[in-house]
Structure formats: structure tokens, C-alpha cells
Structure 1
């Protein structure tokens, strides 16, 4: 049975989203850089009685990411929904980060999402449709978070481009913009944020939203 793929399945939003889809009975494929992270999230997802596939990959490594997505598809089939939640979140002021540092952040925050979509959305379209949802943020750029502000602006542009490319073929491309620091028990509780992903995935085509904002 096709299910959900969560890239960046660490504690916080990634784990909460994976659990949210598992609660609906969808098998879940998890992709993350850390083996420890994968094991913890897989345990939380498996508690809901669904099949779980875990693959370790850095989203900035195109070959590794494509390999992980291929492995997930081989076990679960073409996904119904792909969530791209990977990001490098760190403070940096204007001129503080090196070119290499900006390239590293851009590769994870934006290019990883592009590569994931290019690798999965065509198959989803051929299979009748699905959802590709990216975790956004920084609705207003902040000079203390230059690389993240640039990355999230890039995500917003990317989602628009992907929606134009794959939307007519039935793939709902959208982002969830999280406007503050994620922490349990606050207004940015990951469990509450995860509800947006499920709602976007289940929206009928005539009601598709391209971006929802939390906070």
C-alpha cells in the first residue's frame, strides 16, 4: 500500500508528521542523516501499527537521497505524499558565513527539496496524483538568520515553480510556513503543526492551498 515519505524525520516536526500520517493507517518511509534519529522516529511510528521503512541519507547528497527514495518506493510503492522537512537552522549575520557555508545551507534547505520533488513527483503524477509538501519558515527575513532567511525565501519560490510544473498533473505542491521556534507545549507544538500537513494532503483539488502559515 503506498504511503508517506518524510525526509528530515528528526525530532520535532518530522517525527510529528510521520506519526500523524501513521495514525491514518499509511505506511511511512523515513529519511534522515542520523541512524539514532531514524531509530527513534521509526519506533514512534511503528507504535501505530503501520509498516515503517528507514533509510539513512543526507538530503544534500543527491545520489544518496535518490537511492533512499528508490529504496522506499521499492518497498512501499509510489508514495501518496512526500514531505520535505530537512533544513540547516543556525544563526548567522550578514557577511558572517563563508561561501561554502551558504552553499551547504542552500543545498539542504532548497536543492534537496528540488531533487526530492524531481525524483518523486513525476511518478506520483503517473500514478494519479499525490502531495509534495515542504516545511517553510521565516515569513519575514531576519538579519540574524541570513542563510535560513534566504533558504526559506527559496523554498517559497520553489513551491510555486513545482506547483506550476506538477499541479496540472494532479500533484498538490504546498508548504507549511512555521513562523516561530518549534517546541512541545507551546504555540508551535509539533503535533499541532503536523495537522496542517494532513489537511493539505486531504484537500480536494478545487480547494488546494499553496501555503499555510502556523503562527
Structure 2
């Protein structure tokens, strides 16, 4: 049975999505920057009894990411679902970041998803089914989060482009846009957010959504739009 590949498999949304799909009996492949994170998430998924494979790679390293994808696909087969959940979450106003820092943020927020899509979607398209879901955020750009606002705008454009290219082949490309700080027990509980990924994957083709916006009551005073796993942490 093919399964789910999660890139940016951190302890928040990434872990919750892994557990949600594991409940359905799908094998889980995890990709993150460091072995400690992979071990933590793997242990959280283990009680489900499904196969869990993990591979460390930086989403900004094209060769390393492609090699990690090849390793996990070799274990579970061409995926039914790919979730891109990596992002750099940081506050930065206009002019605060160097050009290099902006490029680094863009590489994580957008280019890693491009690499994953280019590597996996042609294979999935030949099979004629599957889902490619990106964790989005910042539905309204914020001047105190310039690099993240730009990155999440890029994600929406990428989803549109991939949908046009691969939608006709049966690939459901979509984004889950999280408009608030992810934290257990709040309106932005990762387990609640994870339900959107399952819903998107199981939607009949004639009802495909390209975007699901998750809103909720954030804890007063919290404004950090951390709708994805920060691969720099």
C-alpha cells in the first residue's frame, strides 16, 4: 500500500497529519532536517501500528531532498499523498532582512515545495491519482512578517500552477491555510487542522477544493502566524 510523505514533519501540524493518516492505515514517510525531530514524530505515530519510515534532509538542499524522497518512496512506493509543511516562521519588517536572508526564507517556504512537486508529481500523474497539499498561511499579508507573507503568497501561486498542470491527470493540489498560531487546546489545535488534510485527500474529484482556510479564536496576545513547521528550528 502506498502512503503519505510529509516534508517538514515537526511536532505540530506535521505530527498531527501523520497521526491522522496513520489512523486510516496508511504508511507514513517523514522528512525533516534533524534526526531528533524525526525520532519524536516517529514515536508519536508508532502506536497506530502502521509502517513509519524517516529520512533527514534540508528542504533547501535540492539533491538531499530528492535523495530523501527516493529513499522513502523506495520503502512505501509512489505516495498517495504528499504534504509540504516546511516554513521559516520569523518576524521581519521591510528592510530588516538582508537579500541573502530573504532568499533563504523563500527557499524553505516555496522552493522546497517546487522541488518535491517536480520530483513526485510526474510519477503520481502517471498513476492518475493522489493529493499534493501544502501548508499555507497569512491570508492577509502583514507588514511585520514580510518574508512569510511573500512566501505564503508564493505558495498560493504554486498551488494554482500545479493544479493547472496536474489536476487534469487526477492529482488534487491544494493548500490548508492556517490563519493563526498553532497550539494544542486552542482554535488552532494541530489535530483539528490535520482533519483538513484528510478531507482534501478524500474529496470526490467534482468537489475538489483548492484551499481550505482554518480560522479560530487565538489566545489573546498571540499573533505569530505559525501555520507550518519551521524547518530552521
* Deviation of the 1:128 alpha carbon: 2.3
User: Stretches of 4+ moved more than 3 A in 1?
Assistant: none
In the other structure, the counterpart of 1:108 is: 108
C-alpha distance in 1, partners of 2:43/2:127? 29
C-alpha distance in 2, partners of 1:124/1:19? 23
Which string of whole-angstrom CA distances, capped at 9 and with x for unpartnered residues, describes residues 60-85 of structure 1?
A: 11101100110111111000000000
Flag structure 2 segments of 5+ consecutive residues without an equivalent: 216-233
* Deviation of the 1:33 alpha carbon: 0.3
SS at match of 1:47: helix
Which string of whole-angstrom CA distances, capped at 9 and with x for unpartnered residues, describes residues 72-107 of structure 1?
A: 111110000000000000000100000000000000
In the other structure, the counterpart of 2:73 is: 73
How high is the TM-score relative to the length of structure 2? 0.92
How high is the TM-score relative to the length of structure 1? 0.99
In the other structure, the counterpart of 1:18 is: 18
Aligned runs of 1:29-178 on 2, under 5 Å? Answer: 29-178=29-178
C-alpha distance in 1, partners of 2:184/2:140? 23
Which string of whole-angstrom CA distances, capped at 9 and with x for unpartnered residues, describes residues 165-205 of structure 1?
A: 01000100000000001000000000000000000000011
In the other structure, the counterpart of 1:6 is: 6
C-alpha distance in 2, partners of 1:129/1:104? 32
SS at match of 1:167: helix
Structure with the bigger RCO (C-alpha within 8 Å, sep 6+) is: 2
Flag structure 1 segments of 5+ consecutive residues without an equivalent: none
Which string of whole-angstrom CA distances, capped at 9 and with x for unpartnered residues, describes residues 139-184 of structure 1?
A: 0000110000000000000000000001000100000000001000
For these two proteins, the number of residue pairs brought into alignment is: 215
SS at match of 1:54: strand
In the other structure, the counterpart of 2:213 is: 213
* Deviation of the 1:127 alpha carbon: 1.5
SS at match of 2:30: strand
* Deviation of the 1:46 alpha carbon: 1.4
